[in-house]
Amino acid sequence: MATDRPEIEIRGLHKSFGDNHVLRGIDLEVARGEVVCVIGPSGSGKSTLLRCVNLLEEPSAGRVFVGGTEVTDPDVDIDAVRRRIGMVFQQFNLFPHVDVAGNLTLPQRRVLGTDTARAAAVARENLARVGLADKTDAYPAQLSGGQQQRVAIARALSMGPEVMLFDEPTSALDPELVGEVLSVMRVLAGEGMTMMVVTHEIGFAREVADRVVFMDGGVIVEQGPAARVVGRPQQERTRNFLDRILNPAGPGPDGD
Ligand SMILES: Nc1ncnc2c1ncn2[C@@H]1O[C@H](COP(=O)(O)OP(=O)(O)O)[C@@H](O)[C@H]1O
Ligand SMILES: [Mg+2]
C-alpha cells in the first residue's frame, strides 16, 4: 500500500493554450501536512499549475495525483476528486444573493448530499474557525473583503477537503485586511492542512511555508526551505523577482 505517497504529486506537467506553452515540465510533490508557497512573476503559470491540480484546466501532458488517486486518469471520477480539494481564489466567488450560512450549506447539500441540520452545524463550526461565528445571517455585500475571503475559506473547509489550494487569496484586499486572512491560513497550516499557496506575501511564505517554489516562464526555477529561497536565493531570476517585489517602487528618482 502506498501510504507514504505525497498528498500531491505532479509529474512532467505541461499545459498549452493554443500556441502558448504555459507549463513546460513541472515536477512537484507536496507531502501530507506540508505548506508549499508558490511565488513568481505574473504570467509565469502559477494559477494554471493550481488549476491543473483540480482539473479546472486539463493538462496537455503529464500526470497529477492527489491522495494517491490519479486525477489525470481519463476514467477518474473528477467530482469525487474535486471534493477532496478546496480552492480559494483571489476573487472570493461567494454567492451574492445568499447569506453567509447559505454560502456554506448549499455546496454541502448539493455536492455532498449532507442533510440540512448537519450542513448548518458544519457551517457554524467552520465560521467559528475563521472568527466569523457572528456573521451567519450577513450577506456578502455587508462584509469587508477580508471577511468575505474568510467566509470563502470556511466554505471550502466545510467540504472537508484533504488539500487546500489558494490562488493569491489576499491580492484583492485592501492592505489593512490582508493580515486577518493570513492569520486564518496560518492557523490552518498549524493544524496540519496540506496547502499549496500562490502568494506575493513573501513574509507569510517565509514564516509559514515549509517550502517555497519560485516559478518563471512555466518552469520551477528554484525551490527549497523558505529561509533559503527567500533569504539566500541561488538563481539570478529569483533574486531579481524578490528585489522587485520587496522594493516595489524601485530606486527613487535620485537613483537610490
Ligand atoms: N484559460 C486560458 N486560456 C488561454 N490562456 C490562458 C488561460 N489561462 C491562462 N492563460 C495564459 O497562461 C499564461 C499563464 O497564466 P497564469 O497561469 O494565470 O499565470 P500566473 O498565475 O503566474 O500569473 C498567461 O500567458 C495567460 O494568458
Ligand atoms: Mg495567477
- What pLDDT, in 10s, does the model give residues 30-52? 999 999 999 999 999 999 999 99
- Residue from 194, 222, 124, 205 nearest 168 by CA: 205
pLDDT the model gives residue 121? 98
Cα(136) to ligand 2 centroid in Å equals 30
- pLDDT tens track for 156-183: 999 999 999 999 999 999 999 999 999 9
User: Is residue 106 a part of any domain in this protein?
Assistant: yes
Instruction: Name 23's bridge partners.
Output: 15
Cα of 248 vs centre of ligand 1, distance in Å, is 23
pLDDT in tens, 89-124: 999 999 999 999 999 999 999 999 999 999 999 999
**pLDDT for res 248:** 81
* Residues at Cβ < 5 Å from ligand 2 ion: 46-47
Residue 123 counted as domain residue: yes
pTM equals 0.94
> How far apart (Å, rounded) are the C-alpha atoms in residues 78 and 50?
15
Confidence of residue 247 (pLDDT cuts 50, 70, 90): confident
C-alpha cell at 227: 529561509
Give the C-alpha separation, 60 to 70, whole Å: 15
Q: Looking at the domain assignment, is residue 255 inside a domain?
A: no
Q: How far apart are the first and last CA of the chain?
A: 59
- Tell whether ligand 1 has an atom less than 6 A from the beta carbon of residue 48: yes
Domain membership flag for residue 58: no
Residue 103 lies in a domain: yes
Task: Say if residue 253's pLDDT is above 80.
Answer: no
Distance of alpha carbon 153 from alpha carbon 149, whole angstroms: 6
Which ligand 1 atom is the nearest neighbour of the CA of 45? 17
The protein residue with its alpha carbon nearest to ligand 1, atom 8, reads 48
Q: Residue 26 above 50 pLDDT?
A: yes
Residue 101: give the domain boundaries.
94-161
pLDDT over 70 (residue 256): no
Residue 255 reports pLDDT greater than 50:
no
> Residue 103: CB within 6 Å of ligand 1?
no
- Whether residue 144 has pLDDT greater than 60: yes
Run of H or E residues at 119: helix 116-129
pLDDT at 251: 62
Q: Is residue 36 part of a domain?
A: no
pLDDT of the residue at 4: 76
Report pLDDT digits (tens) over 59-97.
999 999 999 999 999 999 988 888 999 999 999 999 999
In a domain, 1, yes or no: no
Say how many Å lie between the CA of residue 134 and the centre of ligand 2: 32
d(Cα 129, Cα 8) in Å, to the nearest integer?
Answer: 25
Tell me the longest C-alpha to C-alpha distance in the chain.
Answer: 65
Q: Is the pLDDT of residue 246 over 90?
A: no
Q: pLDDT tens for residues 200-239?
A: 999 999 999 999 999 999 999 999 999 999 999 999 999 9
* Strand boundaries in 43-147, DSSP class E: 61-66, 69-70, 85-88
CA-proximal residue: ligand 1, atom 13 (nearest): 43
Which of 17, 35, 22, 45 is CA-nearest to residue 214? 45
Q: How would you write 179-232 as a 3-class SS string?
A: HHHHHHHHHHHHCCCEEEEECCCHHHHHHHCCEEEEEECCEEEEEECHHHHHHC
Please state, in angstroms and rounded to a whole number, the distance separating the CA atoms of residues 133 and 116. 18
d(CA 119, CA 101): 9
User: Cα separation of 111 and 122, whole Å?
Assistant: 14
How many angstroms separate the alpha carbon of residue 88 from the centre of ligand 1?
17
112 inside domain: yes
**Total number of domains in the chain:** 1
Residue 33 grid coordinates: 501536512
